[in-house]
Chain A
Protein backbone atom coordinates (compact mmCIF):
# COMPACT_ATOMS: atom_id res chain seq x y z
CA UNK A 1 0.00 0.00 0.00
CA UNK A 2 1.08 3.53 -0.74
CA UNK A 3 1.78 6.02 2.03
CA UNK A 4 -0.70 8.51 3.42
CA UNK A 5 -1.24 12.24 3.50
CA UNK A 6 -1.76 14.05 6.80
CA UNK A 7 -5.53 14.12 6.16
CA UNK A 8 -5.59 10.35 5.56
CA UNK A 9 -3.46 9.70 8.65
CA UNK A 10 -5.58 11.79 11.01
CA UNK A 11 -8.86 10.40 9.66
CA UNK A 12 -7.44 6.85 9.90
CA UNK A 13 -6.42 7.38 13.52
CA UNK A 14 -9.78 8.90 14.46
CA UNK A 15 -11.93 6.36 12.61
CA UNK A 16 -9.92 3.27 13.55
CA UNK A 17 -9.70 2.08 9.94
CA UNK A 18 -7.46 2.48 6.93
CA UNK A 19 -8.92 5.72 5.58
CA UNK A 20 -8.00 6.58 2.01
CA UNK A 21 -9.03 9.47 -0.23
CA UNK A 22 -12.59 8.90 -1.44
CA UNK A 23 -13.65 6.69 1.50
CA UNK A 24 -16.51 7.77 3.73
CA UNK A 25 -15.61 7.19 7.39
CA UNK A 26 -17.20 7.87 10.74
CA UNK A 27 -14.63 9.37 13.08
CA UNK A 28 -14.21 10.48 16.71
CA UNK A 29 -14.09 14.25 16.92
CA UNK A 30 -11.80 15.89 19.50
CA UNK A 31 -13.71 19.19 19.72
CA UNK A 32 -16.86 20.69 18.22
CA UNK A 33 -17.21 24.47 18.31
CA UNK A 34 -20.22 26.69 17.61
CA UNK A 35 -20.59 30.48 17.76
CA UNK A 36 -23.51 32.77 18.62
CA UNK A 37 -24.88 32.68 15.04
CA UNK A 38 -24.64 28.96 14.34
CA UNK A 39 -25.16 27.84 17.96
CA UNK A 40 -28.90 28.50 18.42
CA UNK A 41 -29.93 26.19 15.54
CA UNK A 42 -27.58 23.50 16.92
CA UNK A 43 -29.02 23.88 20.42
CA UNK A 44 -32.60 23.34 19.19
CA UNK A 45 -31.66 20.32 17.10
CA UNK A 46 -29.60 18.82 19.92
CA UNK A 47 -32.29 19.29 22.56
CA UNK A 48 -34.87 17.68 20.26
CA UNK A 49 -32.87 14.46 20.61
CA UNK A 50 -33.09 14.24 24.39
CA UNK A 51 -29.59 12.79 24.66
CA UNK A 52 -26.87 13.83 27.14
CA UNK A 53 -24.12 16.06 25.71
CA UNK A 54 -20.49 15.06 25.20
CA UNK A 55 -19.59 17.96 27.49
CA UNK A 56 -15.81 17.81 27.32
CA UNK A 57 -15.84 18.00 23.51
CA UNK A 58 -18.14 21.02 23.20
CA UNK A 59 -16.76 24.57 22.94
CA UNK A 60 -19.16 27.53 22.87
CA UNK A 61 -17.72 30.87 21.73
CA UNK A 62 -19.88 33.95 21.14
CA UNK A 63 -18.09 36.23 18.68
CA UNK A 64 -20.16 37.35 15.69
CA UNK A 65 -22.55 39.77 17.39
CA UNK A 66 -21.03 40.21 20.86
CA UNK A 67 -20.75 42.42 22.81
CA UNK A 68 -24.43 42.40 21.93
CA UNK A 69 -25.10 44.54 18.88
CA UNK A 70 -28.83 44.94 19.50
CA UNK A 71 -31.76 43.26 21.22
CA UNK A 72 -31.99 40.40 18.71
CA UNK A 73 -28.31 39.55 19.13
CA UNK A 74 -28.62 39.93 22.91
CA UNK A 75 -31.38 37.31 22.90
CA UNK A 76 -29.22 35.05 20.78
CA UNK A 77 -26.19 35.43 23.06
CA UNK A 78 -28.49 34.68 25.99
CA UNK A 79 -29.55 31.43 24.31
CA UNK A 80 -25.92 30.32 24.22
CA UNK A 81 -25.24 31.35 27.81
CA UNK A 82 -28.36 29.51 29.01
CA UNK A 83 -27.57 26.41 26.96
CA UNK A 84 -24.10 26.27 28.54
CA UNK A 85 -25.63 26.58 32.00
CA UNK A 86 -28.43 24.09 31.40
CA UNK A 87 -26.05 21.39 30.16
CA UNK A 88 -23.07 22.16 32.39
CA UNK A 89 -20.72 22.97 29.52
CA UNK A 90 -17.54 24.39 31.00
CA UNK A 91 -15.96 25.53 27.75
CA UNK A 92 -18.19 28.56 27.32
CA UNK A 93 -16.35 31.85 26.86
CA UNK A 94 -18.11 34.93 28.18
CA UNK A 95 -17.55 38.41 26.74
CA UNK A 96 -14.29 39.71 28.19
CA UNK A 97 -12.76 36.25 27.99
CA UNK A 98 -14.02 35.60 24.48
CA UNK A 99 -12.93 36.75 21.05
CA UNK A 100 -12.98 35.62 17.44
CA UNK A 101 -13.80 31.92 17.87
CA UNK A 102 -10.84 30.55 15.91
CA UNK A 103 -8.31 32.63 17.85
CA UNK A 104 -9.88 31.49 21.13
CA UNK A 105 -9.60 27.87 19.93
CA UNK A 106 -5.87 28.51 19.45
CA UNK A 107 -5.22 30.68 22.53
CA UNK A 108 -7.05 28.25 24.82
CA UNK A 109 -5.17 25.24 23.51
CA UNK A 110 -8.03 23.32 21.86
CA UNK A 111 -6.34 23.45 18.46
CA UNK A 112 -3.31 21.17 18.26
CA UNK A 113 -1.50 18.86 15.82
CA UNK A 114 -3.15 15.58 14.90
CA UNK A 115 -6.54 16.56 16.29
CA UNK A 116 -9.82 16.27 14.43
CA UNK A 117 -11.81 19.44 15.10
CA UNK A 118 -15.09 20.55 13.57
CA UNK A 119 -16.80 23.89 13.96
CA UNK A 120 -20.01 25.46 12.78
CA UNK A 121 -18.07 28.23 11.11
CA UNK A 122 -16.49 27.85 7.70
CA UNK A 123 -13.10 29.19 8.84
CA UNK A 124 -12.62 26.28 11.25
CA UNK A 125 -10.00 25.13 8.72
CA UNK A 126 -7.64 27.66 10.38
CA UNK A 127 -6.19 25.08 12.82
CA UNK A 128 -4.60 23.20 9.94
CA UNK A 129 -1.91 25.84 10.46
CA UNK A 130 -1.05 23.88 13.61
CA UNK A 131 -1.18 20.47 11.90
CA UNK A 132 -4.77 19.59 12.86
CA UNK A 133 -7.46 18.30 10.50
CA UNK A 134 -10.17 20.87 11.08
CA UNK A 135 -13.13 21.78 8.95
CA UNK A 136 -16.34 23.76 8.90
CA UNK A 137 -19.71 22.05 9.31
CA UNK A 138 -23.33 23.13 9.73
CA UNK A 139 -25.38 23.60 12.88
CA UNK A 140 -27.27 20.30 12.55
CA UNK A 141 -24.01 18.39 12.21
CA UNK A 142 -22.66 20.20 15.26
CA UNK A 143 -25.77 19.09 17.17
CA UNK A 144 -25.10 15.51 16.10
CA UNK A 145 -21.52 15.75 17.42
CA UNK A 146 -22.82 17.25 20.70
CA UNK A 147 -24.80 14.02 21.12
CA UNK A 148 -22.47 11.36 19.71
CA UNK A 149 -18.96 12.82 19.62
CA UNK A 150 -18.69 11.45 16.10
CA UNK A 151 -19.29 12.59 12.52
CA UNK A 152 -18.99 11.22 8.98
CA UNK A 153 -16.30 12.49 6.65
CA UNK A 154 -15.47 11.87 3.06
CA UNK A 155 -11.69 11.50 3.16
CA UNK A 156 -10.38 14.25 0.85
CA UNK A 157 -7.63 13.79 -1.66
CA UNK A 158 -4.84 16.27 -1.02
CA UNK A 159 -3.14 18.84 -3.20
CA UNK A 160 0.48 19.22 -2.18
CA UNK A 161 1.72 22.80 -2.23
CA UNK A 162 5.52 22.86 -2.23
CA UNK A 163 7.16 26.03 -1.03
CA UNK A 164 10.67 27.21 -1.83
CA UNK A 165 12.52 30.50 -1.30
CA UNK A 166 11.98 33.26 1.25
CA UNK A 167 9.30 35.93 1.55
CA UNK A 168 10.58 39.34 0.49
CA UNK A 169 10.21 42.26 2.89
CA UNK A 170 6.57 43.28 3.38
CA UNK A 171 5.28 40.06 1.79
CA UNK A 172 3.66 37.32 3.88
CA UNK A 173 1.16 34.50 4.22
CA UNK A 174 -1.81 36.60 3.09
CA UNK A 175 -0.09 37.44 -0.19
CA UNK A 176 0.69 33.76 -0.77
CA UNK A 177 -2.84 32.56 -0.06
CA UNK A 178 -4.42 35.25 -2.28
CA UNK A 179 -2.03 34.15 -5.03
CA UNK A 180 -2.89 30.46 -4.59
CA UNK A 181 -6.66 31.12 -4.59
CA UNK A 182 -6.34 33.38 -7.64
CA UNK A 183 -4.39 30.69 -9.49
CA UNK A 184 -6.82 27.84 -8.75
CA UNK A 185 -10.08 29.77 -8.40
CA UNK A 186 -12.65 29.86 -5.61
CA UNK A 187 -13.72 26.31 -6.45
CA UNK A 188 -10.22 25.08 -7.30
CA UNK A 189 -10.01 22.74 -4.32
CA UNK A 190 -13.60 21.62 -3.76
CA UNK A 191 -13.60 18.44 -1.66
CA UNK A 192 -9.81 18.47 -1.49
CA UNK A 193 -7.33 19.37 1.22
CA UNK A 194 -4.25 21.53 0.82
CA UNK A 195 -1.09 20.06 2.35
CA UNK A 196 1.96 22.29 2.50
CA UNK A 197 5.49 21.01 2.18
CA UNK A 198 8.77 21.65 0.42
CA UNK A 199 12.01 23.13 1.73
CA UNK A 200 10.53 26.51 2.73
CA UNK A 201 7.39 25.28 4.55
CA UNK A 202 9.31 25.01 7.80
CA UNK A 203 10.45 28.64 7.52
CA UNK A 204 6.91 30.02 7.28
CA UNK A 205 5.99 31.55 10.65
CA UNK A 206 3.07 29.84 12.41
CA UNK A 207 0.94 33.00 12.34
CA UNK A 208 1.29 33.05 8.53
CA UNK A 209 0.42 29.34 8.39
CA UNK A 210 -2.79 30.09 10.28
CA UNK A 211 -3.62 32.93 7.84
CA UNK A 212 -3.02 30.64 4.86
CA UNK A 213 -5.03 27.70 6.21
CA UNK A 214 -7.83 30.07 7.31
CA UNK A 215 -8.44 30.93 3.67
CA UNK A 216 -8.29 27.34 2.32
CA UNK A 217 -12.11 27.44 2.36
CA UNK A 218 -11.97 30.38 -0.08
CA UNK A 219 -10.73 27.88 -2.68
CA UNK A 220 -13.47 25.47 -1.59
CA UNK A 221 -10.99 23.26 0.29
CA UNK A 222 -12.13 21.07 3.16
CA UNK A 223 -8.89 21.68 5.04
CA UNK A 224 -5.50 23.33 4.70
CA UNK A 225 -2.65 21.70 6.60
CA UNK A 226 0.92 22.60 7.53
CA UNK A 227 2.30 19.38 9.05
CA UNK A 228 3.51 19.76 12.63
CA UNK A 229 7.18 20.74 13.05
CA UNK A 230 9.46 22.34 15.64
CA UNK A 231 7.90 25.79 15.02
CA UNK A 232 4.40 24.40 15.66
CA UNK A 233 5.47 22.75 18.91
CA UNK A 234 7.14 25.92 20.12
CA UNK A 235 4.05 28.00 19.26
CA UNK A 236 1.67 25.81 21.29
CA UNK A 237 4.02 24.78 24.10
CA UNK A 238 2.56 27.08 26.76
CA UNK A 239 -1.07 27.01 25.64
CA UNK A 240 -1.98 23.51 24.45
CA UNK A 241 -4.52 21.51 26.47
CA UNK A 242 -3.68 17.81 26.82
CA UNK A 243 -1.69 15.49 24.60
CA UNK A 244 -1.41 15.74 20.86
CA UNK A 245 0.04 13.73 18.00
CA UNK A 246 2.61 15.29 15.65
CA UNK A 247 1.33 13.89 12.33
CA UNK A 248 3.50 14.22 9.22
CA UNK A 249 2.85 12.77 5.77
CA UNK A 250 4.49 9.60 4.49
CA UNK A 251 7.22 10.15 1.92
CA UNK A 252 5.28 8.07 -0.62
CA UNK A 253 1.90 9.69 0.08
CA UNK A 254 -0.34 10.05 -2.96
CA UNK A 255 -1.43 13.53 -3.99
CA UNK A 256 -4.07 14.67 -6.50
CA UNK A 257 -1.48 17.11 -7.80
CA UNK A 258 1.61 19.02 -6.73
CA UNK A 259 1.82 22.81 -7.03
CA UNK A 260 5.03 24.77 -6.54
CA UNK A 261 5.40 28.30 -5.20
CA UNK A 262 8.65 30.22 -4.88
CA UNK A 263 8.07 32.64 -2.01
CA UNK A 264 10.80 34.97 -3.25
CA UNK A 265 8.78 35.64 -6.41
CA UNK A 266 5.68 36.80 -4.53
CA UNK A 267 4.75 40.45 -4.25
CA UNK A 268 2.13 42.23 -2.15
CA UNK A 269 -1.32 41.16 -3.36
CA UNK A 270 -4.84 42.49 -3.08
CA UNK A 271 -8.02 40.50 -3.86
CA UNK A 272 -10.40 42.85 -5.66
CA UNK A 273 -14.22 42.69 -5.42
CA UNK A 274 -16.24 40.50 -5.34
CA UNK A 275 -14.37 37.18 -5.04
CA UNK A 276 -11.17 36.16 -3.23
CA UNK A 277 -9.86 34.79 -6.54
CA UNK A 278 -9.59 38.30 -7.99
CA UNK A 279 -6.02 38.71 -6.75
CA UNK A 280 -3.80 41.33 -8.34
CA UNK A 281 -0.40 42.76 -7.43
CA UNK A 282 -0.92 45.93 -5.37
CA UNK A 283 1.21 47.94 -7.81
CA UNK A 284 -1.40 47.31 -10.53
CA UNK A 285 -4.37 48.75 -8.65
CA UNK A 286 -5.30 52.38 -8.18
CA UNK A 287 -8.06 52.50 -5.58
CA UNK A 288 -8.96 55.29 -3.14
CA UNK A 289 -10.27 53.93 0.17
CA UNK A 290 -12.67 55.08 2.89
CA UNK A 291 -11.78 52.45 5.49
CA UNK A 292 -8.84 50.26 6.46
CA UNK A 293 -9.78 47.26 8.62
CA UNK A 294 -7.19 45.26 10.55
CA UNK A 295 -8.48 42.22 12.40
CA UNK A 296 -10.42 38.92 12.02
CA UNK A 297 -9.50 35.23 12.26
CA UNK A 298 -7.34 35.74 9.17
CA UNK A 299 -5.07 38.56 10.32
CA UNK A 300 -6.04 39.63 13.84
CA UNK A 301 -3.11 38.04 15.65
CA UNK A 302 -0.39 39.87 17.60
CA UNK A 303 2.05 39.24 14.74
CA UNK A 304 -0.29 41.14 12.39
CA UNK A 305 -0.66 43.97 14.90
CA UNK A 306 3.13 44.25 15.23
CA UNK A 307 3.59 44.42 11.47
CA UNK A 308 0.93 47.10 11.00
CA UNK A 309 2.10 49.10 14.03
CA UNK A 310 5.67 49.04 12.73
CA UNK A 311 4.50 50.66 9.51
CA UNK A 312 2.09 53.16 11.03
CA UNK A 313 4.33 54.30 13.91
CA UNK A 314 4.93 58.05 13.78
CA UNK A 315 2.48 58.46 10.88
CA UNK A 316 -1.16 59.49 10.66
CA UNK A 317 -4.20 57.82 9.14
CA UNK A 318 -5.11 59.83 6.03
CA UNK A 319 -7.78 62.54 6.41
CA UNK A 320 -11.20 61.12 5.56
CA UNK A 321 -10.09 57.53 6.18
CA UNK A 322 -11.24 55.41 9.12
CA UNK A 323 -8.72 52.85 10.33
CA UNK A 324 -10.37 50.19 12.48
CA UNK A 325 -8.17 47.83 14.48
CA UNK A 326 -9.77 44.77 16.09
CA UNK A 327 -7.54 42.31 17.96
CA UNK A 328 -8.83 38.74 17.55
CA UNK A 329 -8.73 37.81 21.24
CA UNK A 330 -8.13 39.19 24.74
CA UNK A 331 -4.57 37.82 24.74
CA UNK A 332 -3.84 39.69 21.50
CA UNK A 333 -5.36 42.84 22.97
CA UNK A 334 -3.37 42.48 26.19
CA UNK A 335 -0.12 41.99 24.26
CA UNK A 336 -0.94 45.09 22.19
CA UNK A 337 -1.26 47.12 25.38
CA UNK A 338 1.88 45.67 26.95
CA UNK A 339 3.95 46.20 23.81
CA UNK A 340 2.72 49.76 23.34
CA UNK A 341 0.96 49.01 20.05
CA UNK A 342 -2.35 50.40 21.27
CA UNK A 343 -0.71 53.80 21.71
CA UNK A 344 0.90 53.65 18.28
CA UNK A 345 -2.45 53.00 16.58
CA UNK A 346 -4.26 55.62 18.67
CA UNK A 347 -1.55 58.23 18.05
CA UNK A 348 -2.04 57.60 14.33
CA UNK A 349 -5.76 58.30 14.68
CA UNK A 350 -7.01 54.73 14.40
CA UNK A 351 -10.03 53.35 16.24
CA UNK A 352 -9.09 50.33 18.37
CA UNK A 353 -11.70 48.02 19.88
CA UNK A 354 -11.81 44.81 21.87
CA UNK A 355 -12.17 41.47 20.09
CA UNK A 356 -15.24 40.67 17.94
CA UNK A 357 -15.96 39.41 14.43
CA UNK A 358 -17.53 42.83 14.03
CA UNK A 359 -17.49 44.31 10.58
CA UNK A 360 -15.69 41.40 8.87
CA UNK A 361 -19.02 39.74 8.08
CA UNK A 362 -21.01 42.95 7.90
CA UNK A 363 -22.07 42.60 11.52
CA UNK A 364 -21.35 45.95 13.13
CA UNK A 365 -18.53 48.32 14.21
CA UNK A 366 -17.41 49.41 10.78
CA UNK A 367 -20.19 48.77 8.24
CA UNK A 368 -19.68 50.33 4.81
CA UNK A 369 -22.13 52.79 3.21
CA UNK A 370 -23.14 52.71 -0.46
CA UNK A 371 -20.18 53.38 -2.73
CA UNK A 372 -17.58 53.08 0.04
CA UNK A 373 -14.40 51.07 -0.35
CA UNK A 374 -12.40 49.26 2.30
CA UNK A 375 -9.03 47.58 2.30
CA UNK A 376 -9.37 44.76 4.79
CA UNK A 377 -7.21 42.07 6.37
CA UNK A 378 -10.25 39.74 6.41
CA UNK A 379 -11.07 36.75 4.18
CA UNK A 380 -14.15 37.54 2.07
CA UNK A 381 -14.98 40.31 -0.36
CA UNK A 382 -18.38 39.03 -1.53
CA UNK A 383 -21.10 41.48 -2.62
CA UNK A 384 -22.31 43.35 0.44
CA UNK A 385 -20.05 41.37 2.75
CA UNK A 386 -19.10 44.37 4.93
CA UNK A 387 -22.23 46.43 4.40
CA UNK A 388 -24.14 48.01 1.52
CA UNK A 389 -24.39 45.93 -1.65
CA UNK A 390 -22.85 48.87 -3.44
CA UNK A 391 -19.73 48.90 -1.22
CA UNK A 392 -16.44 47.20 -2.06
CA UNK A 393 -13.94 45.17 -0.06
CA UNK A 394 -10.30 44.67 -1.11
CA UNK A 395 -8.54 41.89 0.79
CA UNK A 396 -4.87 42.32 1.74
CA UNK A 397 -2.28 41.58 4.40
CA UNK A 398 -1.46 43.79 7.40
CA UNK A 399 1.40 45.58 5.58
CA UNK A 400 -0.88 46.80 2.80
CA UNK A 401 -3.74 47.66 5.19
CA UNK A 402 -1.41 49.85 7.29
CA UNK A 403 0.24 51.58 4.32
CA UNK A 404 -3.14 52.15 2.68
CA UNK A 405 -4.57 53.69 5.87
CA UNK A 406 -1.79 56.30 5.82
CA UNK A 407 -1.96 57.09 2.11
CA UNK A 408 -5.74 56.86 1.67
CA UNK A 409 -5.33 54.56 -1.30
CA UNK A 410 -4.33 50.93 -1.67
CA UNK A 411 -0.55 50.97 -1.34
CA UNK A 412 2.54 49.08 -0.21
CA UNK A 413 4.78 50.26 2.65
CA UNK A 414 7.49 51.22 0.15
CA UNK A 415 5.14 53.96 -1.16
CA UNK A 416 5.41 55.74 2.19
CA UNK A 417 9.01 56.83 1.79
Chain B
Protein backbone atom coordinates (compact mmCIF):
# COMPACT_ATOMS: atom_id res chain seq x y z
CA UNK B 1 0.00 0.00 0.00
CA UNK B 2 1.48 3.27 -1.10
CA UNK B 3 0.89 6.98 -1.44
CA UNK B 4 1.51 8.58 -4.82
CA UNK B 5 1.72 12.35 -5.06
CA UNK B 6 2.34 14.37 -8.18
CA UNK B 7 1.08 16.74 -10.83
CA UNK B 8 -1.85 15.69 -12.95
CA UNK B 9 -1.82 15.19 -16.73
CA UNK B 10 -5.29 14.93 -18.25
CA UNK B 11 -6.36 12.58 -21.05
CA UNK B 12 -9.74 11.72 -22.57
CA UNK B 13 -11.47 8.38 -23.24
CA UNK B 14 -9.94 5.53 -25.26
CA UNK B 15 -6.24 6.46 -25.03
CA UNK B 16 -4.78 3.59 -27.08
CA UNK B 17 -1.33 2.11 -26.68
CA UNK B 18 -0.33 3.41 -30.13
CA UNK B 19 -0.76 6.90 -28.65
CA UNK B 20 1.17 6.00 -25.50
CA UNK B 21 4.11 4.58 -27.47
CA UNK B 22 4.02 4.36 -31.29
CA UNK B 23 4.93 1.15 -33.10
CA UNK B 24 8.13 2.57 -34.56
CA UNK B 25 9.62 2.63 -31.04
CA UNK B 26 8.95 -1.07 -30.38
CA UNK B 27 12.49 -2.27 -30.88
CA UNK B 28 14.79 -3.65 -28.22
CA UNK B 29 17.31 -0.81 -28.44
CA UNK B 30 14.58 1.60 -27.31
CA UNK B 31 13.74 -0.35 -24.15
CA UNK B 32 15.84 1.90 -21.91
CA UNK B 33 14.46 5.18 -23.24
CA UNK B 34 10.78 4.52 -24.04
CA UNK B 35 9.71 7.42 -21.82
CA UNK B 36 11.32 9.92 -24.23
CA UNK B 37 8.73 8.95 -26.83
CA UNK B 38 5.59 8.69 -24.70
CA UNK B 39 2.66 10.38 -26.45
CA UNK B 40 5.06 11.75 -29.10
CA UNK B 41 2.44 11.74 -31.86
CA UNK B 42 -0.54 13.11 -29.95
CA UNK B 43 1.13 15.42 -27.41
CA UNK B 44 4.64 16.11 -28.65
CA UNK B 45 7.04 17.35 -25.96
CA UNK B 46 4.88 16.19 -23.04
CA UNK B 47 7.32 13.51 -21.89
CA UNK B 48 10.03 16.14 -21.28
CA UNK B 49 7.68 17.99 -18.97
CA UNK B 50 6.59 14.94 -16.99
CA UNK B 51 8.33 14.66 -13.62
CA UNK B 52 8.89 11.68 -11.35
CA UNK B 53 5.72 10.87 -9.45
CA UNK B 54 3.32 12.58 -11.86
CA UNK B 55 -0.16 11.16 -12.22
CA UNK B 56 -2.30 10.61 -15.32
CA UNK B 57 -6.05 11.19 -15.00
CA UNK B 58 -8.07 9.80 -17.90
CA UNK B 59 -11.54 8.72 -18.98
CA UNK B 60 -12.81 5.34 -20.10
CA UNK B 61 -10.89 2.43 -21.62
CA UNK B 62 -7.35 3.72 -20.96
CA UNK B 63 -4.69 1.59 -22.67
CA UNK B 64 -6.90 0.01 -25.33
CA UNK B 65 -5.46 -1.58 -28.44
CA UNK B 66 -2.14 -3.36 -28.78
CA UNK B 67 -0.83 -5.66 -26.02
CA UNK B 68 2.56 -3.93 -26.05
CA UNK B 69 4.01 -3.96 -22.54
CA UNK B 70 6.12 -1.06 -23.77
CA UNK B 71 3.09 1.15 -22.92
CA UNK B 72 3.22 0.91 -19.11
CA UNK B 73 7.04 0.79 -19.32
CA UNK B 74 7.06 4.05 -21.31
CA UNK B 75 4.77 5.77 -18.81
CA UNK B 76 6.93 4.67 -15.87
CA UNK B 77 10.10 5.72 -17.68
CA UNK B 78 8.54 9.14 -18.26
CA UNK B 79 8.03 9.42 -14.51
CA UNK B 80 4.36 8.51 -14.19
CA UNK B 81 3.67 6.79 -10.86
CA UNK B 82 -0.03 6.13 -11.15
CA UNK B 83 -2.88 6.25 -13.67
CA UNK B 84 -6.38 7.11 -12.48
CA UNK B 85 -9.02 6.28 -15.09
CA UNK B 86 -12.72 5.57 -15.29
CA UNK B 87 -11.88 2.15 -16.77
CA UNK B 88 -8.89 0.31 -18.24
CA UNK B 89 -8.48 -2.07 -21.14
CA UNK B 90 -7.81 -5.52 -19.72
CA UNK B 91 -4.42 -6.26 -21.31
CA UNK B 92 -3.03 -2.87 -20.23
CA UNK B 93 -4.38 -3.54 -16.74
CA UNK B 94 -2.61 -6.90 -16.52
CA UNK B 95 0.61 -5.51 -17.99
CA UNK B 96 0.64 -2.71 -15.42
CA UNK B 97 0.33 -5.13 -12.52
CA UNK B 98 3.37 -6.98 -13.80
CA UNK B 99 5.51 -3.94 -14.55
CA UNK B 100 4.69 -2.07 -11.33
CA UNK B 101 2.63 0.83 -12.66
CA UNK B 102 -0.15 1.65 -10.17
CA UNK B 103 -3.67 1.83 -11.59
CA UNK B 104 -6.77 3.18 -9.91
CA UNK B 105 -10.25 2.78 -11.37
CA UNK B 106 -12.20 5.92 -10.47
CA UNK B 107 -13.95 8.80 -12.20
CA UNK B 108 -12.43 12.04 -10.98
CA UNK B 109 -12.52 15.66 -12.07
CA UNK B 110 -9.06 17.03 -11.40
CA UNK B 111 -7.58 19.71 -13.64
CA UNK B 112 -4.31 19.31 -15.49
CA UNK B 113 -1.44 20.80 -13.51
CA UNK B 114 -3.13 20.33 -10.13
CA UNK B 115 -1.37 18.30 -7.46
CA UNK B 116 -3.09 15.05 -6.53
CA UNK B 117 -2.47 12.41 -3.89
CA UNK B 118 -3.50 8.77 -4.30
CA UNK B 119 -3.55 6.62 -1.16
CA UNK B 120 -4.04 2.96 -2.08
CA UNK B 121 -4.46 1.77 1.51
CA UNK B 122 -7.18 4.32 2.25
CA UNK B 123 -8.65 4.05 -1.23
CA UNK B 124 -8.69 7.82 -1.68
CA UNK B 125 -7.66 10.37 -4.26
CA UNK B 126 -7.22 13.94 -3.02
CA UNK B 127 -7.27 16.96 -5.33
CA UNK B 128 -4.72 19.16 -3.54
CA UNK B 129 -5.88 22.28 -5.40
CA UNK B 130 -9.27 22.28 -3.65
CA UNK B 131 -9.11 19.51 -1.06
CA UNK B 132 -11.79 17.43 -2.74
CA UNK B 133 -11.54 13.71 -1.94
CA UNK B 134 -12.67 10.83 -4.15
CA UNK B 135 -13.05 7.26 -2.87
CA UNK B 136 -12.26 4.23 -5.00
CA UNK B 137 -12.85 0.51 -4.64
CA UNK B 138 -9.64 -1.37 -3.97
CA UNK B 139 -8.50 -4.27 -6.16
CA UNK B 140 -9.72 -7.79 -5.31
CA UNK B 141 -7.37 -9.65 -2.93
CA UNK B 142 -5.94 -11.85 -5.69
CA UNK B 143 -4.87 -8.80 -7.71
CA UNK B 144 -3.64 -6.88 -4.64
CA UNK B 145 -1.48 -9.82 -3.57
CA UNK B 146 -0.03 -10.03 -7.07
CA UNK B 147 0.83 -6.31 -7.00
CA UNK B 148 2.35 -6.50 -3.53
CA UNK B 149 4.53 -9.46 -4.41
CA UNK B 150 5.96 -7.49 -7.36
CA UNK B 151 4.02 -9.03 -10.25
CA UNK B 152 3.82 -12.44 -11.83
CA UNK B 153 7.53 -13.10 -12.36
CA UNK B 154 8.39 -12.30 -8.74
CA UNK B 155 5.51 -14.52 -7.59
CA UNK B 156 6.89 -17.43 -9.61
CA UNK B 157 10.42 -16.73 -8.38
CA UNK B 158 9.24 -16.93 -4.75
CA UNK B 159 7.48 -20.25 -5.38
CA UNK B 160 10.55 -21.82 -7.01
Bound form: Cα–Cα A217–B142 in Å:
24
Q: Is the CB of B27 within 8 A of A121?
A: no
For the complex of A and B, 5 pairs with smallest distance between CB atoms: A138-B95, A187-B61, A140-B98, A72-B27, A389-B41
Chain B positions within 8 Å of A24 at CB level: 140, 142
Complex: chain B residue closest to A221, CB-CB: B90
Chain B positions within 8 Å of A383 at CB level: 18-19, 41-42
Per the 8 Å Cβ criterion, residues 222-276 of A in contact with B are 222, 275
Q: Is the CB of B64 within 8 A of A49?
A: no
Bound form: Cα–Cα A45–B156 in Å:
11
Chain A positions within 8 Å of B151 at CB level: 140
Determine which of A79, A140, A275, A380 lies in contact with B28 in the assembled complex, contact meaning CB atoms within 8 Å: A79
0/1 string, A140-169, CB within 8 A of B gives 1: 110110011000100000000000000000
Determine which of B22, B27, B61 lies in contact with A65 in the assembled complex, contact meaning CB atoms within 8 Å: B27
Bound form: Cα–Cα A41–B27 in Å:
10
0/1 string, B94-136, CB within 8 A of A gives 1: 1100110000000000000000000000000000000000000
Stretch of B2-10, B45-53, B65-73, B74-82 lying at the A interface: B65-73
0/1 string, A105-141, CB within 8 A of B gives 1: 0000000000000001110100000000000111111
A interface residues, Cβ below 8 angstroms from B: 24, 37-38, 40-41, 45, 48-49, 51, 64-65, 72-73, 75-76, 79, 120-122, 124, 136-141, 143-144, 147-148, 152, 186-187, 190-191, 217, 220, 222, 275, 361-363, 380, 382-385, 389
Q: Is the CB of A76 within 8 A of B28?
A: yes
Bound form: Cα–Cα A85–B13 in Å:
43
Complex: chain B residue closest to A357, CB-CB: B23
* A38-B67, A190-B89, A384-B41 known, 4 other contacts, Cβ within 8 Å: A75-B28, A187-B87, A190-B61, A190-B87
Bound form: Cα–Cα A85–B26 in Å:
23
CB A114 to nearest CB in B, in angstroms, measures: 22
Size bracket of the B interface: 35 or more
Chain B positions within 8 Å of A190 at CB level: 61, 87, 89-90
Chain B positions within 8 Å of A41 at CB level: 31, 69-70
Q: Of residues B13, B41, B87, B142, which shows the largest number of chain A Cβ atoms within 10 Å of its Cβ?
A: B41
B153 within 8 A of A: yes
Q: Is the CB of B90 within 8 A of A220?
A: yes
Complex: chain B residue closest to A39, CB-CB: B28
CB B61 to nearest CB in A, in angstroms, measures: 4
Q: Is the CB of B156 within 8 A of A136?
A: no
Q: Is the CB of B23 within 8 A of A362?
A: yes
Chain B positions within 8 Å of A389 at CB level: 41-42
Bound form: Cα–Cα A37–B68 in Å:
8
Bound form: Cα–Cα A382–B87 in Å:
19
Q: Is the CB of B66 within 8 A of A361?
A: yes
Chain A positions within 8 Å of B98 at CB level: 138, 140-141
Q: Is the CB of B69 within 8 A of A38?
A: yes
Bound form: Cα–Cα A66–B151 in Å:
31
Complex: chain B residue closest to A364, CB-CB: B24
Chain B positions within 8 Å of A362 at CB level: 18, 22-24
Bound form: Cα–Cα A222–B67 in Å:
12
Q: Is the CB of A138 within 8 A of B69?
A: yes
Determine which of A140, A152, A217, A380 lies in contact with B18 in the assembled complex, contact meaning CB atoms within 8 Å: A380
Bound form: Cα–Cα A358–B31 in Å:
21
CB B95 to nearest CB in A, in angstroms, measures: 4
Bound form: Cα–Cα A211–B44 in Å:
34
Chain A positions within 8 Å of B95 at CB level: 138-141
